[in-house]
């Protein structure tokens, strides 16, 4: 039994921003950006919200809008979804969750929803979590049938994982080191729990998530960091115990500030990120493949997080693999955080680079510091 990808979709904002356009607002050039990052253009959401992007990617993954990929010819009913997991850093609202907003937009009336904050590793964390939840539900169904007792948890058989980001809202557009890297967009997959009879294949040939691996490293040096927008908001309680209500009518209420003023923008230590990312990419890939009983020779295509083309090239060289084995999309979308690898997976599926029976390896790394990898038989 396993979690099988039955649909995949992506969505990108209409506005494309070139490197030459960036050179008009920061001290940079196309000739400086491309060799260092591999990025030529990125999409920036002007009119689109995070919900717009996530819903469009979801509808395409369901086959309810053109541009997606489905395992079977027929579209997937949104009402058949049992859960929606949305990895995001830029939800349109603190609550309801972005997942809940997407649920409403696509008509997933039976789905339980929540968001996930794990930065650029959201693709792997989302897929792995969905797989674990469905595996747990499958075990609970078996136990309920064996003992003749009620199911002790939600019966989760279909999960939509949709990562949606508007990183343009977190970028300091006056800081060259970060504003050149990031873009907006969304990627989605629909996972369904199937047994061997339902997949039409047995044992080692059955499609599904074959293995996963996740890890966290303490970011004590603030390698990748973005303060909460409300971290430095003040509350009406002073350190001496007085409150605004206890002050005179003419006095200005004393508000207790947080320990430090928050920085509303994303900050990154480039060299430290490169070192962490290349190490994590190789380590997580190896661990996930080992858990699946496979090697890099068994992988049809790697669909990694798209942080920087140099990171992908460095890791490929260290693993002794040609770049043709990697789906690279950063040149036209930039770094879209947790959506990047899901967008790469969708492009590979739509372009026919991955066919049923092929092996894909998705690896990601990001703020937290988070990292992980999962191995998928299409």
Residues designated catalytic? 120, 305, 335
Cβ–Cβ contacts within 10 Å for residue 275, how many? 13
Q: Is 288 exposed, middle or buried (0-12, 13-18, 19+ CB in 10 A)?
A: buried
Q: Name the token pair of 310.
A: 């140099």
Q: Name the token pair of 217.
A: 């490293």
What per-residue string of b and e applies to 191-209 under the rule 16 or more CB within 10 Å gives b?
Answer: bbbbeeeebebeeeebbbb
DSSP letter assigned to residue 254: P
Residue whose structure tokens are 């988070």: 370
**Which pairs with CB-CB distance under 8 Å and at least 24 residues apart come from 267-271?**
267/178, 267/222, 267/224, 267/225, 267/226, 268/177, 268/178, 268/223, 268/224, 268/225, 269/221, 269/222, 269/223, 269/224, 270/177
DSSP-derived secondary structure for 176-206? HHHHTTB-EEEEEEEEEEE-HHHHT--GGG-
Distance separating the N- and C-terminal Cα atoms of the chain: 14
CA distance 363 to 276: 13
Cα-to-chain-centroid distance, residue 284: 16
């Amino acid at each position: 039994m396993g979690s099988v990808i039955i649909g995949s979709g992506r969505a990108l904002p209409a506005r494309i921003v070139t490197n030459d356009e960036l050179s008009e607002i920061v001290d940079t050039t196309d000739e400086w950006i491309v060799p260092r990052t591999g990025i030529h253009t990125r999409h920036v959401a002007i009119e689109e919200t995070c919900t717009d992007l996530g819903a469009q990617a979801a509808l395409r993954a369901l086959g309810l809008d053109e541009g997606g990929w489905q395992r079977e010819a027929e579209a997937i009913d949104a009402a058949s979804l049992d859960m929606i997991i949305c990895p995001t850093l830029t939800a349109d609202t603190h609550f309801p969750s972005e997942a809940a907003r997407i649920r409403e937009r696509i008509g997933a009336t039976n789905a339980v929803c929540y968001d996930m904050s794990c930065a650029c590793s959201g693709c792997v964390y989302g897929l792995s979590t969905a797989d674990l939840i469905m595996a747990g539900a499958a075990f609970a169904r078996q136990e309920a049938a064996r003992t003749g007792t009620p199911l002790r948890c939600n019966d989760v058989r279909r999960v939509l994982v949709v990562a949606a980001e508007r990183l343009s809202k977190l970028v300091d557009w006056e800081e060259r080191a970060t504003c050149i890297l990031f873009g907006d967009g969304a990627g989605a997959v629909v996972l369904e729990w199937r047994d061997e009879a339902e997949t039409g294949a047995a044992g080692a040939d059955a499609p599904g998530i074959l293995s996963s691996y996740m890890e966290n490293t303490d970011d004590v040096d603030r390698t990748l960091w973005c303060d909460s927008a409300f971290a430095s908001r003040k509350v009406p309680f002073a350190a001496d115990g007085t409150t605004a209500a206890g002050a005179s009518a003419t006095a200005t209420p004393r508000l207790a500030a947080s320990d430090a003023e928050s920085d509303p923008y994303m900050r990154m230590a480039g060299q430290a990120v490169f070192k962490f990312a290349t190490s994590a990419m190789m380590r997580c890939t190896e661990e996930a493949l080992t858990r699946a009983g496979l090697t890099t020779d068994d992988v049809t295509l790697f669909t990694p997080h798209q942080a920087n083309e140099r990171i992908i090239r460095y890791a490929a060289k260290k693993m002794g693999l040609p770049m043709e084995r990697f789906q690279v999309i950063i040149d036209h979308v930039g770094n879209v955080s947790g959506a990047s690898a899901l967008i790469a997976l969708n492009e590979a599926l739509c372009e026919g680079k991955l066919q049923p029976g092929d092996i894909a390896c998705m690896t990601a790394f990001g703020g937290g510091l988070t990292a992980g990898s999962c191995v998928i038989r299409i």
